[in-house]
Amino acid sequence: MPAQHLIDVAHAHLIAEGAGDFDAALATFEGEPVYELLPVGLRMRGMDAVRRYYRHFLAEVVPRFVTDKIVVHGSWVGDTGFVIESTIVYRHDDGREEAFRILGILKFGERALIGERIYADEAFLRIMFAGVWDEMEPMED
């Protein structure tokens, strides 16, 4: 079981995302975070990319979540990370609502998070990561 402070950091991260708090979200990371997107097999590395991602995600994506329709299916803590499975309802420009199932694994470092592994439909990943999509690299391992 990981140290309690890492579980607390994971919770703080989720709260910061939900509140759209850029500074609080970034404060939950250490080092040069790595985001891995599956099943598309793309990777984003480094704090500069994470900053650009969160500027887009918090300003453009989170406000389009239909919060009263979000369903958390479960969460689990393991030695190397915190897992949360949910269905997110996203409102498109035309007003249409679309539900996306997502599995996120917040990866623990020594004192904070070192990134995330996200399993979701490519359509939703493209929405989430639109600000940095063209900078992603293929995962090789």
Give the model confidence (pLDDT) of 80-115 as tens digits.
999 999 999 999 999 999 999 999 999 999 999 999
Say which residues have a Cβ less than 8 Å from residue 11's Cβ, sequence separation at least 6.
82
Q: What confidence tier does 141 reach under pLDDT thresholds 50, 70, 90?
A: low
What's the pTM?
0.93
Judge if the upstream peptide bond of residue 39 is cis by omega within 30 degrees of 0.
yes
Domain covering 4-138 assigned CATH 3.10.450.50 in the classification: yes
Kindly list the domain boundaries of the chain, sorted by start residue: 4-138
CA proximity to 116, closest of 20, 19, 21, 17: 17
**Under a CB-based contact definition with an 8 Å cutoff, are residues 82 and 55 in contact?**
no
Q: Where are the beta strands (DSSP E) in the chain?
A: 29-38, 42-45, 71-77, 81-91, 97-108, 113-120, 137-138
pLDDT attached to residue 140: 84
Pairwise CA distance, residues 132 & 9, whole Å: 25
Cα Rg of the chain, angstroms: 14
